[in-house]
Amino acid sequence: MLPHLGPIMASAPVRHDLVGSLDVAAFPPLYGRQIPRSGNSILSSAVLCWANAKGFAMARRCDLTGKGAQVGHTVSHSNRKAKRRFMPNLVNVTLISDTLERSVRLRISTHALKSVDHRGGLDAFLAKASDDELSPKALEIKRQVAKKRSEATAV
């Protein structure tokens, strides 16, 4: 099992009799990137190539609150239940950081946009937000803001 691939392996059927015969050179590089050759088998490279081709790169998750898709039922009048996904209302926004004096592009939910406005801007929101729910991009912005603020108070 390849633990670094996560849920990709669950959706990709593996035929163990073909694992040795997979030719990774047959897969063209996607978007100008080479297929990573690290890992314990050729299969990992083939599955990564398949995952990139299917478009699994971007998650439907808010960069600031971590809000993601939820699963529930569509219930008909006869009370039949069919699985469905409740997607967050994500918008691409450009927020301005007062401390960094530059704009930052983020993909956040409309709920997070209202929260940023309520807390007094992006810098105040990031100062109060826990690191667990922030995306790596938002964490980096939070570190830059904290560093700049500490430099300003030291001077």
For the CA atoms of 90, 96, 97, 100, the dihedral, rounded to the nearest 10 degrees, stands at 130
Provide, rounded to the nearest whole percent, the portion of the chain with pLDDT above 90.
Answer: 59
Same-domain check for residues 46 and 80: no
Same-domain check for residues 80 and 146: yes
Same-domain check for residues 92 and 149: yes
Same-domain check for residues 79 and 139: yes
Same-domain check for residues 12 and 65: no
Same-domain check for residues 102 and 49: no
CA distance 88 to 68: 6
Burial of 100 (0-12, 13-18, 19+ CB in 10 A): middle
CA distance 18 to 103: 50
Asked if pLDDT for residue 89 goes beyond 50, the answer is yes
pLDDT digits (tens, 9 = 90+) for 5-32: 555 444 455 555 544 555 545 544 444 4
Range of the domain at 132: 59-155
CA distance 139 to 136: 5
Same-domain check for residues 35 and 89: no
Number of domains in the chain: 2
Same-domain check for residues 69 and 110: yes
b/e burial code for range 44-63 (CB count within 10 A of at least 16 → b): bbbbbbebbeeeeeeeebbb
Mean residue pLDDT across the chain: 77
Q: What pTM did the predictor assign?
A: 0.60
